[in-house]
């Protein structure tokens, strides 16, 4: 009788833990994840606003190919924020680089502006947006935490001076999911969207 009661209590505790785990996952997926995505979008909006202000002030021409590519990049990040997942980019990076090595394909590159100052500004805008993507991946994936924990000491060791934890985390994420891979994936999303728009 005592053994049956202990067994029932154990089963009840396991059941309560399972229900609690499911509830936590649902809360993270429905509430917390959406809040993180909204926060990511707000930060990309802020970066895009700086881009628009620079163009409105006349520092960059509105028909500059690098400006147009940068604008598409930021808009695609905003539109497909939910699809930016660590595991997808991690697997895609390995497949992409294996394929590129076999086919001798050049890495994805943005068009370059003829104006060196404009090009430098646009590169910085994209760098900031890509770093924000890396931090977003870290915020939304416990798997990314483990990968970064392994890479973080290497990233800290490569920094010539202390630049803060955020910089080291971005460096570690860049070793796992390179910025070229993020840019290529976002460009592919934008291209797929434009093909669908033409087909429609």
pLDDT of 200 reads 38
State yes or no: pLDDT of 74 exceeds 80. Answer: yes
Q: What is the pTM of this model?
A: 0.70
Q: Find all residues with CB under 8 Å of 79, minimum gap 6, and list them.
A: 189, 193
CB atoms under 10 Å from CB of 134, counted, come to 25
Q: Provide the pLDDT for residue 105.
A: 52
The percent of residues in the chain predicted with pLDDT above 90, rounded, is 20
HSE-CB for 142 with a 13 A CA cutoff: 3
**Domain residues of the chain, as ranges?**
2-199
Residue 97: exposure state from Cβ atoms within 10 A (0-12, 13-18, ≥19): middle
Judged on CB neighbours under 10 Å (0-12, 13-18, 19+), 108 is: middle
- Say which residues have a Cβ less than 8 Å from residue 85's Cβ, sequence separation at least 6: 137, 140, 141
pLDDT band for position 26 (50/70/90)? low
pLDDT tens per residue, range 142-194: 777 787 777 777 666 665 554 566 777 777 777 777 777 788 778 777 776 65
Alpha-carbon radius of gyration of the chain: 22
What pLDDT was estimated at residue 123? Answer: 92
Percent of the chain with pLDDT over 70: 72
Is residue 81 within 8 A of residue 134, CB to CB? The reply is no
* pLDDT value at residue 85: 80
Q: Which of 31-40, 61-70, 90-99, 108-117 has the highest mean pLDDT?
A: 61-70
């Amino acid at each position: 009788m005592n053994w049956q009661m202990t067994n029932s209590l154990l089963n009840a505790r396991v059941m309560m833990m399972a229900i609690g785990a499911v509830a936590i996952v649902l809360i993270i997926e429905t509430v917390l994840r959406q809040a993180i995505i909204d926060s990511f979008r707000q930060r990309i909006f802020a970066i895009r606003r700086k881009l628009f202000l620079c163009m409105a002030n006349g520092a960059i021409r509105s028909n500059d190919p690098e400006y147009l590519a940068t604008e598409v990049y930021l808009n695609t990040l905003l539109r497909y924020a939910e699809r930016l997942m660590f595991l997808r980019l991690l697997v895609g990076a390995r497949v992409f680089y294996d394929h590129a090595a076999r086919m001798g394909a050049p890495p994805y590159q943005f068009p370059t502006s003829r104006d060196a100052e404009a090009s430098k500004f646009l590169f910085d805008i994209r760098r900031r947006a890509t770093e924000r993507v890396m931090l977003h991946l870290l915020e939304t994936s416990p798997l990314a935490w483990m990968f970064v924990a392994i890479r973080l000491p290497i990233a800290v060791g490569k920094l010539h001076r202390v630049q803060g934890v955020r910089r080291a985390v971005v460096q570690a994420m860049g070793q796992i999911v390179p910025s070229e891979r993020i840019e290529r994936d976002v460009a592919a999303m934008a291209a797929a969207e434009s093909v669908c728009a033409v087909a429609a």
